[in-house]
Structure 1
Amino acid sequence: MDLQHWLGRATHAIQEWADGHGPYQPHPSLQVDEDRLAAAFEEFTGRLKDNYPFFHPRYAGQMLKPPHPAAVVGYLTAMLINPNNHALDGGPATARMEREAVARLAGMFGYDTHLGHLTTSGTIANLEALFVARELHPGQGVAYSADAHYTHGRMCHVLGVQGHPVPTDDRGRLDLDALEDVLRTGRVGTVVLTAGTTGLGVVDPVHQALALKERHGVRLHVDAAYGGFFTLLAGADGPEGIDPEPWRAIARCDSVVVDPHKHGLQPYGCGAVLFRDPEVGRFYLHDSPYTYFTSADLHLGEISLECSRAGASAAALWLTFQLLPPTPDGLGRVLAAGRRAALRWADLIAASDVLELYQRPELDIVTCFPAVEPATLSAVDAASARVLADGMASADPVFLSTLRAGRESFAARHPKITADADGARVLRSVLMKPESETHLAWLHARVEEFARTR
């Protein structure tokens, strides 16, 4: 896709639209000296070079990658108009695009009915889901996995509700027996299930938690901010296929959050929150004396805690979905490449004499650590830190990240490692870019090379 060509068409299309409204004279206060702009722009672009190469498969550290060119074109084109998707009079076209894109997300999760909208982040999306949960279960708390994203504990504090971290099993999944012990106290009204933890990419047993929903009358919220688009691989043929049961069970949960700015190929920030029951919109009810007057239809600001939101985000997602829809044959093919890469790398690590697999990946996050002697947590920690630093400092660098695993978590997976510390860092890689599949041999060889260096 020729990005420069389409950006040129974007500016032409918007200028043509603007010309249809008649001429006007820009105010002189907005005029800037071209030489000053050139100098500022040179400094600006120079500063931007102080970044890691998120676009390149040599970068596998965090959940970062560039947006799809279609998303860039959609975002920048709409940004030239700068619509605000709070009210229909702020962005009538992009508000319709948002509804259409959100409906496709709801269909991806199997929701027959829904109420939802885009947000600026998964954090805000989860805040909205827990806000509604609090209103439906006043005075009751929220239970979530001890390995869930820290946002849940933080948002419980913001909302003034009690958070209840629940232990995990030896794979990092929420322990349902421990959860039921908490539910028997009657102090919990909502359970958060994570479909793809940000540390290891672990999927909680959503399908098995449905029985607890019926037995204890709790609300089930699924945090699929990171992993949500992997539902497109549920039950797929080939090595990239994943267990369909947890993903198909999301359709019976009360709410779900997903971040298109992760696997949905969108620029930051683009999250989304979806509720299965549209009637929860009553908890957002408010009035404004100067908005919501152009249409009797529901305005997006009437079902959102946020006010101003960039219509450009909706435009980018809508345009991307026209080309790569949230289907197995659309975005699913992109995720499948990263998933295959993760599984292949896990096999290479398992066969390595200098690396050990920390845990086999469920999605596209790979974790490992250098084989060390003596086999102690402190030695593992030091070796992982050294590989991370050496890889980044190399003339032919590789960019990873680390995950700190506690003593008990490490012992559950690697009991032969002597626990001489309270935990250890392991190497962590996120293979979000489909190009990782063709770059994997190089990536593995480089990490092995750094692991061999003492």
Structure 2
Amino acid sequence: MSYPSAQALLHRALQHVEDWEASWGSFEHHSSIGVNPDRLDAAMDEYLERLEGNYPFHHPRYAGQMLKPPHPVALAAYTAAQRINPNNHALDGGPPTSQMEQEVVADLAEMLGLPDETLGHLTGGGTVANLEALWVARELHPDQAIAVSENAHYTHGRMSEVLKMEMVSVPTDTYGRLDLDALDTLLDTHDIGTVVLTAGTTGLGTVDPIADALPLCRDSDARVHVDAAYGGFFRLMTYDQAPDLNGFPASHFEAIAESDSVAIDPHKHGLQPYGCGCILFRDPTVGRFYQHDSPYTYFTSDELHLGEISLECSRAGAAAGALWCTLKALPLAPNDGVGAILAACLRAARTWAEAVETSDALTLLAPPETDIVAYFPTPDSPTLSAVDAASQRLFETAMNATDDPVFTSLYRLPAETLQTLHPSLKADQDDAAVLRSVLMKPEHETYADALVERLSSLAA
């Protein structure tokens, strides 16, 4: 197999759409749409030059934030649909892409182990997906609070404020996972309607003990929403044909199948451009909360319209088309397509961690659960202030190196966590920064050793 040429795929996609457009008959564009050639050249030159100010998200040397370009298949498919610009709010706004959306939503539900009758749709991203989950939680239990771990994404706190819901924070353990004893106590002492569990935190990629938390929630009649925006696709790694990876919390990804709702982002590990999230509900009757009507709503079919089960109105049909085409070319399989890519990312994290452990200049914070690794330069003195300063210094030095730069990110941790994981460190300040590498490109598997060696030499 060979890596597809984005240029060739784009040319094929756009040529096909242009031929389709021509089949409807030619016409003259209105003069107002015209652009002065000199002004257009100047605008494009400046635009393309300014794009060069981005970091090299496509390259293995970029291991910073959760950023990477879409797969060439997704890029070509998105561009083709974008040229037509369908709107998946209603079937007659984009008949083909609306059907594709229903198909990919069913594919994602099946991947996660949810039942066939699962209700769902694509969203603009994880924030909107989680907003809809919390909104349904409020409608089902209007007088009850939601429980969210301290390490959950900040969007839950923000969306709780938007929805005027009470949110109760649940403490976490040393590794950033929701503390089961604290949750059990909270369920006994507080009126909780929904518990949010995270399958892959955006900080360290850790996974809440979903399999163990579910029985506690059921015993208290609390619903469970899983925020799998980052890690949801790792559910493929629980299948029988998937590779056995050290430290991977397979049982908790398997338990997602028992949740009441799930948020998952195809624009992360699903290889898609930004603007592609998804919300899934086990109980399809929650669709009643979305019911609406207006004098200008155009529904030309009696079939369920995506606009009837979404808080968003206009939504890019191109997002659904790109995901559909991608999953046809790269299936949701444990040892092929998307699964093979995920396995490479997980192996990359373990290779990176092993390389850090063999380095005198770097210290591993903790073994990775998914594809995010945290570590810090071995300090001259065993203090948090020394760790903090060394991490900041290596971050800036590596990123700004004129020869062979490496792009990482910083993550701040409280003194208690750092001291528990590394008891020799003295707490002379409340927290400290460590380095964090997100290895969500499969190419990181090949380059992990070399990148850690480069960081080690810069740290030394």
Query: What is the TM-score normalised by the length of structure 1?
Result: 0.98
Q: Deviations over 1:401-451 (max 9, x none)?
A: 010001111122112100000000000000000001111122011110121
Give the distance between the partners of 1:266 and 1:298, measured in 2 at CA.
25
Give the distance between the partners of 2:67 and 2:278, measured in 1 at CA.
18
- 1:128: how far off? 0.3
Give the distance between the partners of 2:85 and 2:247, measured in 1 at CA.
40
- Please give the residue correspondences for 1:398-417 in structure 2 after superposition, counting only pairs within 5 Å: 398-417=406-425
Which of 330, 340, 346 matches 2:347? 340
Matched, 1:48 2:39: no
Matched residue SS, 2:262: strand
Deviates more, 1:181-190 or 1:218-227: 181-190
For structure 2, list consecutive stretches of 5 or more residues without a partner in the other structure: none
Give the distance between the partners of 2:250 and 2:362, measured in 1 at CA.
31
- 1:39: how far off? 1.3
Matched, 1:420 2:423: no
Aligned to 1:93: 96
Conserved? CA contact 2:125–2:276, under 8 Å: yes
Matched, 1:20 2:28: no
- Please give the residue correspondences for 1:8-157 in structure 2 after superposition, counting only pairs within 5 Å: 8-112=11-115, 113-157=117-161
Conserved? CA contact 2:247–2:368, under 8 Å: no
Which of 438, 448, 457 matches 1:430? 438
Conserved? CA contact 1:380–1:426, under 8 Å: yes
- 1:297: how far off? 0.8
Matched, 1:184 2:191: no
Conserved? CA contact 1:192–1:222, under 8 Å: yes
- 1:315: how far off? 0.7
- 1:4: how far off? 1.9
Conserved? CA contact 1:240–1:339, under 8 Å: no
Matched, 1:445 2:453: yes
Matched residue SS, 1:404: strand
- 1:293: how far off? 2.2
Aligned to 1:242: 248
- 1:292: how far off? 3.9
Residue 387 to residue 241, structure 1, CA distance change in 2 (3 Å): closer
Deviates more, 1:311-320 or 1:345-354: 345-354
Moved over 4 A (4+): none
Which of 173, 180, 202 matches 1:169? 173
Give the distance between the partners of 1:241 and 1:179, measured in 2 at CA.
24
Give the distance between the partners of 1:35 and 1:182, measured in 2 at CA.
65
Q: Give the superposed CA RMSD.
A: 1.2
- 1:240: how far off? 6.3
Give the distance between the partners of 1:67 and 1:114, measured in 2 at CA.
27
Aligned to 1:305: 311
- Please give the residue correspondences for 1:269-280 in structure 2 after superposition, counting only pairs within 5 Å: 269-280=275-286
Which of 196, 202, 220 matches 1:198? 202
Identical-pair percentage: 58
- 1:183: how far off? 1.2
Conserved? CA contact 2:247–2:369, under 8 Å: no
- Please give the residue correspondences for 1:313-392 in structure 2 after superposition, counting only pairs within 5 Å: 313-328=319-334, 329-392=336-399
Conserved? CA contact 2:391–2:435, under 8 Å: yes
Paired amino acid for 1:206 = I
- 1:241: how far off? 7.8
- 1:211: how far off? 0.9
- 1:5: how far off? 2.1
Deviates more, 1:395-404 or 1:322-331: 322-331
Deviates more, 1:274-283 or 1:344-353: 344-353
Which of 213, 228, 235 matches 1:224? 228
Paired amino acid for 1:445 = E
